[in-house]
Structure 1
Amino acid sequence: MPILNISACPPTAGYVGAVYKQGISESEVISYLNESGIASKVNSGYFSFSPYFNESLRAIYVEIGFYEEGAPIKAYIFPGSKYTLLLVETDFNLNKGPLIYAESLLSGLLSPEKIVNESGSPNNWNPPVPYAVWSKLEKGVNLDVKVVRCGYMYSKLREPEINRIGVVANGIDYNLSFSIIKKIEEKGLKVDYLGCSEESILKASKYRVVIFLGGHLAPITGKFVLPLLKNRSAYLEENGWLIFPGRWGTGGTFIVVAGSDRYMTRKAAEEFLKGWADIIVRMVKEGEEVSLTFNSTFHIAIESHGGCGLLEESRLLLKAEGNYIRAIYEEGHSDPCSKFYIADYSVENGEIRIELQRVSTSLICVQCIGVITANISIGPLPPGSYKVCINGICGSVSISKY
């Protein structure tokens, strides 16, 4: 825990970061950013992460989005001889979306497979926790993290404004599968091909929904997909295809539509068109949340809302409903005008782990102590016993044969 300053106040934003076990020089970073076309968004120098943090730290940053107040959101790169830090600005809920986006954008420079730590802290903790972790690994220096008076006054992430679908794909997957995704236009939603380079990922940050055609082994685009799939790449190789969405950037949704080879990617695109097109159209046009899925049958779907109430400890209720698990998760929070979304999940050996994060609903509501509730449906699942963990709270439930 950080050292508390008696004049501390609530945070207004935060930092999330990834430490890579990968040494890199500043000149290598600059060279890559110039060659990849990202250079127009780059700056370097000495930066302070709070008006109350005396030390200025040498870094290179890339602008990856904006706060609602208009300030740019920066992804800082701290080169090191053994370890490199990617530190990204975010909101006070420590939304990982900007970090996931930055990991994908910079995957040609920083290998996602070499990430050894991901962490975050509010912007009134200084230095940021990810920087303290990196300092210990790279320099052998233990830094005291202190809670200072206030962080910089930024708060909400500005959501992407382009209400169309962007598609990132290499030439092979474009030729085999893009025409299938393009059929969504018959439902009144335009589909744009963005290409398959770092500049394509820069464009993608402005779209509400971005589809990646091809998996982590796809030529050129695979490096961008790897940080999005993380530990699901093994599932793709074993099962042939998957459709996997998640949140990234400042509120956009990515969807990986991938197969174990180019032809299975085409199959995944066909399944996507059958089972997802209507959902995506509603999501882009009306802001409807999308459920997470491994493929066209298994889903983790969420409905969430906030309200006034008092809850001292988070709680989780589980019950079986046929071959589905129903999970009700509740957590106390200072803002009743918030809801949960699914930031990450894994399913392995009968254990289902779900990470929820909060996002403001932008509704006008009374000021009170709040309780945020998530109603989650998981399945279909085969009969058996399951352990379900949501934000670290775990329980067990059994699905019987019927």
Structure 2
Amino acid sequence: MRIKVLLIVLLLLPSLNISACPPTAGYVGAVYSQGITESEAMSYLNRSRIASKLNTGFFSFSPYFKDGLRAIYIEIGSYEEGAPLKAYIFPGSKYTLLLVETDASLNKGPLLYAESLLSGLLNPRNIVNESGSPNNWNPPAPYALWIRLERGVEVKVNVVRCGFVYSRLREPQTGRIGVIANEIDYNLSFGIIKRIESRGVGVDYLGFNEESMIKASKYRVVIFLGGHLAPATGKFVLPLLRNKTAYLRHNWLISPGTWGTGGIFIVIAGSDRYMTRRAAEEFLIRWADFAIRAAREGAVFMEFNSTAIMIVSSGRCGILEEPELQLSSEGNYIKAVYREGHSDPCARFYIAECSMTDREIRITLGRQSTSLICVQCIGVITANITIGPLPPGDYKVCINGICGHINISKS
């Protein structure tokens, strides 16, 4: 099925006007191999009350075309400045399309959020394709794919010439950490996460239903306690874990990503409730600084091949003649500590480039100053880097040209 859909995308490309100018926004969508009726969708949406606004009709998906497409329109959250997070459902007898408005760079975060929020209606396991297109494409590419699968109709995607600039997804406004967990995981693990408050960042328990997800869209950092099989919350987590669920068979998992209105999610889960508690304890020890920094300043996060790389950097006075790299493994993760001497302690590392070929991971770190006024001493800059989840095996890790080997063993 995925190969067939890819061919459809390739067939669409020749009809596009490559010289078109930049769009002002975009749309990302998921096609489900699941048929629903409009009345079924409306009944669920009215019953769950997840939408602050709900109606049906014909909607335009480009400011440059007047024609509209029939869909169910819902508003399922809001951005910092109050603008709504817009989603559209296209019911079908065999396939259903979920389409979400995003920025012109086609950030998939709002789609992940919508998939989780609507998982009680549309099963994430039935997703057969995800794609996106800017709003100077008409109709949106996900719609063209859906109509081809649902009705066997070929739709030409047109691109308009325009003169506008790219937009950016706005940030969520709540610089606190929200937690979604069912009653079992709440009782066993929420107290562990709550300890973050001693470091100066508030933690709010949001509950475990659709209303909780709406609240969560306003947070810069949202933690999900429990995996894809957890009662009540598992349906929300499944779209976020994607192909990482295998790591939960006999182990624990901490998995971050971008979602919602530009913030990040962190799934803390285990193969059972007690392994989830162990994951929460590990989070408090190893990952809390990352979450706190993300809540205060925004995420420092990259991802490739479903593997996340997170970095927390610090500086101190000291002398280090040669760069050094220390590697260790914890569960399905590689922990790397990289240190390098610098003219002062006020610089911090950031991830400039990263790549993963077979079992070789290469990371290039850049340095940036954090203050105009700095203590006068020679400095040592440290990067604490977490890479994972990764399957068991031997890995070579190179950071700024310094390499080492590490093994991730089977649980």
What TM-score do you get using the length of structure 1 for normalisation? 0.74
Aligned residue for 2:249, secondary structure, equals: helix
Question: What is the Cα-based RMSD across aligned positions, in Å?
Answer: 3.8
Pair 1:258 & 2:246 matched: no
- 1:173 Cα deviation (Å)? 0.7
Q: What amino acid is aligned across from residue 280 of structure 2 in structure 1? A: A
- 1:122 Cα deviation (Å)? 1.0
Contact 1:104 1:224 in 2 (8 A): yes
Among candidates 114, 125, 131, match of residue 102 of structure 1: 114
- 1:187 Cα deviation (Å)? 1.0
1:88 corresponds in structure 2 to: 100
Matches within 5 A, 1:346-357: 350=359
1:301 corresponds in structure 2 to: 310
Q: Which runs of 5+ in 1 are unaligned?
A: 304-320, 327-338, 355-374, 389-397
Pair 1:285 & 2:296 matched: yes
2:220 corresponds in structure 1 to: 208
- 1:293 Cα deviation (Å)? 11
Q: What amino acid is aligned across from residue 134 of structure 2 in structure 1? A: P
Residue-by-residue CA offset, 1:291-311 (whole Å, 9 max, x unaligned): 6799xxx962369xxxxxxxx
Among candidates 212, 219, 235, match of residue 247 of structure 2: 235
Q: What amino acid is aligned across from residue 202 of structure 1 in structure 2? A: I
Matches within 5 A, 1:68-87: 71-87=83-99
Relative to structure 1, is the Cα distance of residues 144 and 92 closer, same or farther in structure 2, using a 3 angstrom cutoff?
same
Residue-by-residue CA offset, 1:218-238 (whole Å, 9 max, x unaligned): 001000000000100111114
Relative to structure 1, is the Cα distance of residues 155 and 257 closer, same or farther in structure 2, using a 3 angstrom cutoff?
same
Contact 2:256 2:308 in 1 (8 A): no
Distance 1:69 1:258 in 2: 33
Distance 2:197 2:335 in 1: 35
Relative to structure 1, is the Cα distance of residues 3 and 299 closer, same or farther in structure 2, using a 3 angstrom cutoff?
closer
Distance 1:174 1:293 in 2: 31
Distance 1:98 1:20 in 2: 17
2:5 corresponds in structure 1 to: none
Relative to structure 1, is the Cα distance of residues 39 and 160 closer, same or farther in structure 2, using a 3 angstrom cutoff?
closer
Residue-by-residue CA offset, 1:296-346 (whole Å, 9 max, x unaligned): xx962369xxxxxxxxxxxxxxxxx776899xxxxxxxxxxxx9999xx99
Distance 2:105 2:267 in 1: 25
Contact 1:67 1:154 in 2 (8 A): no
Residue-by-residue CA offset, 1:342-396 (whole Å, 9 max, x unaligned): 9xx9999848899xxxxxxxxxxxxxxxxxxxx99775988757799xxxxxxxx
Pick the structure with greater CA Rg: 2
2:259 corresponds in structure 1 to: 248
Contact 1:245 1:292 in 2 (8 A): no
2:344 corresponds in structure 1 to: none
Q: What amino acid is aligned across from residue 256 of structure 2 in structure 1? A: P
Distance 2:395 2:291 in 1: 33
Relative to structure 1, is the Cα distance of residues 202 and 254 closer, same or farther in structure 2, using a 3 angstrom cutoff?
same
Pair 1:196 & 2:205 matched: no
Distance 2:274 2:129 in 1: 35
1:393 corresponds in structure 2 to: none
Aligned residue for 1:117, secondary structure, equals: strand
1:175 corresponds in structure 2 to: 187
1:62 corresponds in structure 2 to: 74
Aligned residue for 2:205, secondary structure, equals: strand
Contact 2:27 2:102 in 1 (8 A): yes
Distance 1:351 1:89 in 2: 37
- 1:12 Cα deviation (Å)? 1.4
Deviates most, 141-150 or 165-174: 141-150
Contact 1:245 1:293 in 2 (8 A): no
Distance 1:352 1:112 in 2: 30
Contact 1:291 1:299 in 2 (8 A): yes
Q: Which runs of 5+ in 2 are unaligned?
A: 1-12, 313-324, 328-333, 337-349, 364-382
Contact 1:216 1:226 in 2 (8 A): yes
Contact 2:87 2:99 in 1 (8 A): yes
Residue-by-residue CA offset, 1:164-204 (whole Å, 9 max, x unaligned): 11110111111111111111111111111100000100000
Distance 2:304 2:260 in 1: 20
Aligned residue for 1:160, secondary structure, equals: coil
Contact 2:176 2:219 in 1 (8 A): yes
Aligned length: 339
1:309 corresponds in structure 2 to: none
Relative to structure 1, is the Cα distance of residues 200 and 231 closer, same or farther in structure 2, using a 3 angstrom cutoff?
same
Distance 1:149 1:133 in 2: 23
Contact 1:103 1:112 in 2 (8 A): yes
Among candidates 42, 46, 53, match of residue 41 of structure 1: 53
Residue-by-residue CA offset, 1:129-176 (whole Å, 9 max, x unaligned): 000000000010011111013499882222111111111011111111
Contact 1:42 1:62 in 2 (8 A): yes
Pair 1:162 & 2:174 matched: yes
